[in-house]
Chain A
Amino acid sequence: KNEVEQSPQNLTAQEGEFITINCSYSVGISALHWLQQHPGGGIVSLFMLSSGKKKHGRLIATINIQEKHSSLHITASHPRDSAVYICAVKYRGSEKLVFGKGTKLTVNP
């Protein structure tokens, strides 16, 4: 079964800390997405990647195809980074995304 596992499920950090959220998947993919959802808010696409690494501001996403693993890093975390971060993958041959259950991040001032 094609699943997406995220860890941790919940994460609490102090402002300024370096954050890592992990995502594992089971078989070959054509793309992996990282999404952000603020409480009560809409869903924003942060990254789409199929290899290597992407950076946008304080956010960095990496993917290791051999290990079937991706990480989302947040440097110098801030309370406004508090949100649910969702990993989603598109398996080869499928038109659909498979979503992880999300990681709830709380950054305290």
Chain B
Amino acid sequence: DAGITQSPRYKITETGRQVTLMCHQTWSHSYMFWYRQDLGHGLRLIYYSAAADITDKGEVPDGYVVSRSKTENFPLTLESATRSQTSVYFCASSEQEDYGYTFGSGTRLTVV
């Protein structure tokens, strides 16, 4: 299906485990973004990518790793999950720098 897809939709993991959230878009948009959304903070940028093999830190990158070997995929890995990383994670894409954004449906991650 065309669009931007996040998986899984829900995930429960234990403290210290590694977990990867997937994001896939079918438009070949250049820009992709990972945000987390927490009560009282709104959306905060974790990492973004301007093109394949180009990634950069956002506002809250600590504890996360990203890669972008292919334009359409932008996985987010929590190397050693902590309870403070319990959040809803949104992936987004944009064709070019000043174009509109399209968001995925989100992944609700709970770290216990």
The range of chain A's interface size is 20 to 34
Q: CA–CA, A35 to B33, complex, Å?
A: 16
Q: How many residues of B contact A (CB 8 A)?
A: 24
Task: Name the interface residues of B67-112: CB closer than 8 Å to any CB of A.
Answer: 90, 92, 97-106
Residues of chain A within 8 A (CB-CB) of B44 are 99
Residues of chain A within 8 A (CB-CB) of B104 are 42
A/B pair count, beta carbons within 8 Å: 52
Q: CA–CA, A97 to B104, complex, Å?
A: 16
Contact with B along A66-109 (1 / 0, CB 8 A): 00000000000000000000101010000111011110000000
> Which of these, B33, B42, B99, contacts A100 with CB under 8 Å?
B42
A67 to chain B, nearest CB (A): 21
Label chain B's interface by main secondary structure.
Answer: strand
- B39 to A, closest residue via Cβ: A101
A42–B98 touching, CB < 8 Å: no
Contact with B along A36-52 (1 / 0, CB 8 A): 00000111110010100
> Which of these, B58, B100, B105, contacts A33 with CB under 8 Å?
B100
A42–B100 touching, CB < 8 Å: no
Label chain A's interface by main secondary structure.
Answer: strand
Q: CA–CA, A64 to B48, complex, Å?
A: 29
- B42 to A, closest residue via Cβ: A101
The 3 closest A-B pairs by CB, nearest first: A43-B103, A42-B105, A101-B42
* B→A interface (CB under 8 Å): 31, 33, 40-45, 48, 50, 56, 58, 90, 92, 97-106
* A→B interface (CB under 8 Å): 30-31, 33, 35, 41-45, 48, 50, 86, 88, 90, 95-97, 99-102
